[in-house]
A and B are shown apart, each in its own frame.
Chain A
Amino acid sequence: MNIELQNIRFSYGSIKALDGVDLMLGAGACGLLGPNGAGKSTLLRILLGFLKPADGEGTVLGYDIRHEPFAIRRLVGYMPEDDCLIPGMDAVTFTAYFGELSGMPRQEAMKRAHDVLFYVGLGESRYRMLETYSAGMKQRLKMAQALVHDPKLLFLDEPTSNLDPQGRVEVLDLIKDISSKKDINVLVSSHILGDIEATCSHVVILNKGQVAAQGEIEALKAVTYSLYELRIKGSGDGFIRALEGQGCRIEPTEDGLLKIYMPPGLPRTALFTTAERERVQIRYFVKSRTSLEDLFAKTVGVD
């Protein structure tokens, strides 16, 4: 287990930010979701040791969050959401500086800074002044400084904010690559569900200061075996009637998607045979699953 928390509580004055959070996070990439004000940033701050919980215990990578925050910070990399760079430096100096502050010897930090900057894609621009960096480059620089000391656990806070579509894909690919190394674990906090689905295998949903749901994304999404989603080309009416004749229930949705509830015992192939008979092409065919968005809505509750 990389992160274990028991009954963590924290309040800002009278506002209860975390109200009894229990968490067990293992290896791999995990997404952290929640409405605004649910306590995500507070949780990250407590994990990093910026804040001490009012109540509760916890360990990160085996170190106690109250008493050993420095040991935790050595092994953890944090990529903040806001822009944060020191003007007047170039990327190598910046990255090496923070590597040094993490406890690396100066020359090691310098060497490692170069390697990490190449890895995140800033190799060509690593001697340029930070003021000249574009938004995408700044995000990657933030990732570089989080990786320079080879952390075991990486916290990424809204990693794709302010990025254009190309930048988003590049950063997501980078995250996927990092988390594919079996021994770096990643915790991604984001509001963009697509990003979480693309990069994470697990998810934790916070709501009102508590954990509303946690687990594997695939497992949490209810897999309804008998429900399929289809798009067809051709006259749909005959097709629909034929299927209903076989016991299916059809729900057309807006923009042309058909939801088909199959009766037990009817094999999938029946859809295709019916389609062929009715001279209809099936152009899109997937087993219906709850989307992460629906899961979120269900867990957090549509108020």
Chain B
Amino acid sequence: MTAVIRADNLSKWYGNVLGLSDVSLEIEAGITGLLGPNGAGKSTFMKLVTGQMRPSLGRIAILGQDVWNRYALFRRIGFCPEQDAFYEEMTGWEFLTGLLDLHGFSRGEAASRARRALELIELVDAKDRLIRGYSRGMRQRLKIAQAIAHDPDVIILDEPLNGLDPLSKRKVIRLIKDFKEAGKTVLVSSHVLPEIEALTRTIVLLHQGKILAQGDIPYIRDLIDKHPHMIAVTCRDPRRLAAAVVGESSILDIRFGPDPGTVVFETRDRDRVFGLLTALAAGNALDVEEISSPDDNLQAVFDYLVGR
């Protein structure tokens, strides 16, 4: 697949403060999560990708063209920033149609696009109210609306679910997934890792201005040698289960707890251990209640790589 967003040795400094250092990556169509601790360079990257800043070194290109000053390209990019900054005296409708006007759409087209965007994020009833009177969730949804109203191919979202109640979050997640189905490229940044996991399995992890990890979450997890995989089993007699597998060399560590019926195995060879477990569960009267991998998620990957 061809890369939609491509960075080559991208670097950015603010005076002597480091923003990004030597970042090279390719983002393809679909949803990609961008994560990292505060100060890792996420907002710097987003500003560079949306053409708000010029790189100090290297290049950043969308669909093969450098972003900086490429106005024609801006029409194909939508950006939902994290900050809350609106013209409070406008109504939502005026705001959205105003921005669409700036894109060069005709009056009629701007109106129909604005209406469609408002319908997607369910803000049609409030469209003629002043933005000053909008609740936090409504402002957030308006931000998303202005990012998608001009039907861009590349959508950059910075904390899009911030301030939304759980139902609105669900709807926006569904909306983002629809974009993926439509072949668009979405880059989502968030601190709430379960929300990223609900959207995608592909991530880019930034740390101290560099890329720390990139790719498929389970793939990255597999690569973290220092922390073998954990497999938690809840059953009637955990100690008997442990006793049955303790001779197995691929099991590196066995821990009990915290709940009374749970035992946690650590291993680098999950395949073997799962095979063993299935066989044991079938045979003995263990009455296995639950099998899970507690550290096979994004939060664990983040903790292991960035370290606490």
When A and B assemble into the complex, do they touch directly, with CB atoms less than 8 Å apart? yes
Q: Does B271 touch A at the CB level, under 8 Å?
A: yes
Q: Tally A-B pairs: CB < 8 A.
A: 117
Known: A134-B38, A268-B287. Is A36-B299 also a contact (CB below 8 A)?
Answer: no
- Cβ of B38: which chain A residues have Cβ within 8 Å of it? 134-136, 164, 167
Query: Interface stretch among B21-29, B188-196, B261-269?
Result: B188-196
- Cβ of A302: which chain B residues have Cβ within 8 Å of it? 167
B 120-140 contacts with A by CB, 8 A: 135-138
Within the complex, which residue of B36, B288, B290, B308 is in contact with A169, where a contact is CB–CB below 8 Å? B308
Asked if A168 contacts B278 (CB within 8 A), the reply is no
How many residues of A are counted as interface, with CB atoms below 8 angstroms from the partner's CB atoms?
45
Asked if B135 contacts A281 (CB within 8 A), the reply is no
* CB-nearest residue of chain A to B171: A302
A 171-188 contacts with B by CB, 8 A: none
B 133-178 contacts with A by CB, 8 A: 135-138, 162-170
Known: A169-B299, A281-B271, A284-B291. Is A269-B281 also a contact (CB below 8 A)?
Answer: yes
Known: A166-B37, A284-B291, A284-B293. Is A36-B282 also a contact (CB below 8 A)?
Answer: no
- Cβ of A267: which chain B residues have Cβ within 8 Å of it? 287
A 129-164 contacts with B by CB, 8 A: 134-136, 160-164
Asked if A287 contacts B282 (CB within 8 A), the reply is no
- Cβ of B166: which chain A residues have Cβ within 8 Å of it? 33, 35, 191, 193, 293, 296-297
The 8 A CB mask of B278-308 against A (1 = contact, 0 = none) is 1101110111111111000001001100101
- Cβ of A191: which chain B residues have Cβ within 8 Å of it? 163-166, 169
Query: Interface stretch among A17-25, A64-72, A102-110, A271-279?
Result: A271-279
How far, in whole Å, are A29 and B164 apart by their CA atoms in the complex? 23
- Cβ of A266: which chain B residues have Cβ within 8 Å of it? none
How far, in whole Å, are A81 and B299 apart by their CA atoms in the complex? 24
Known: A191-B165, A281-B271, A283-B274. Is A168-B192 also a contact (CB below 8 A)?
Answer: yes
CB proximity of A14 to chain B, nearest CB, Å: 13
How many residues of B are counted as interface, with CB atoms below 8 angstroms from the partner's CB atoms?
45
CB proximity of A251 to chain B, nearest CB, Å: 19
How far, in whole Å, are A233 and B293 apart by their CA atoms in the complex? 14
Asked if A269 contacts B282 (CB within 8 A), the reply is yes
The 3 closest A-B CB pairs, nearest first, are: A272-B281, A272-B282, A36-B137
How far, in whole Å, are A270 and B305 apart by their CA atoms in the complex? 39
Query: A interface vs B, CB < 8 Å?
Result: 33-37, 134-136, 160-170, 191-194, 233, 267-269, 272-273, 275-277, 280-287, 293, 296-297, 300, 302
How far, in whole Å, are A252 and B302 apart by their CA atoms in the complex? 29
CB proximity of A173 to chain B, nearest CB, Å: 10
How far, in whole Å, are A6 and B191 apart by their CA atoms in the complex? 38
Q: Return 28 A-B CB contacts under 8 Å, by A number.
A: A35-B167, A35-B168, A36-B135, A36-B168, A136-B38, A162-B191, A163-B191, A164-B38, A164-B191, A165-B192, A165-B299, A166-B306, A166-B308, A167-B191, A191-B163, A191-B169, A194-B192, A268-B288, A272-B282, A272-B288, A275-B278, A275-B282, A276-B279, A281-B277, A281-B278, A285-B290, A293-B166, A302-B167
Within the complex, which residue of B170, B194, B289 is in contact with A194, where a contact is CB–CB below 8 Å? B194
Known: A36-B135, A164-B37, A168-B191. Is A269-B287 also a contact (CB below 8 A)?
Answer: yes
Within the complex, which residue of A162, A164, A166, A293 is in contact with B170, where a contact is CB–CB below 8 Å? A293
Within the complex, which residue of A163, A194, A272, A293 is in contact with B278, where a contact is CB–CB below 8 Å? A272
10 additional A-B residue pairs with CB within 8 Å, beyond A167-B38, A191-B165, A280-B278: A165-B302, A169-B303, A169-B308, A170-B308, A191-B169, A282-B278, A282-B281, A282-B291, A283-B274, A297-B167
- Cβ of A296: which chain B residues have Cβ within 8 Å of it? 166-167
How far, in whole Å, are A5 and B88 apart by their CA atoms in the complex? 37
Within the complex, which residue of A135, A161, A193, A286 is in contact with B292, where a contact is CB–CB below 8 Å? A286
Q: Does B35 touch A at the CB level, under 8 Å?
A: yes
The 8 A CB mask of B32-47 against A (1 = contact, 0 = none) is 0001111000000000
Q: Does B108 touch A at the CB level, under 8 Å?
A: no
CB proximity of A60 to chain B, nearest CB, Å: 25
CB proximity of A181 to chain B, nearest CB, Å: 18
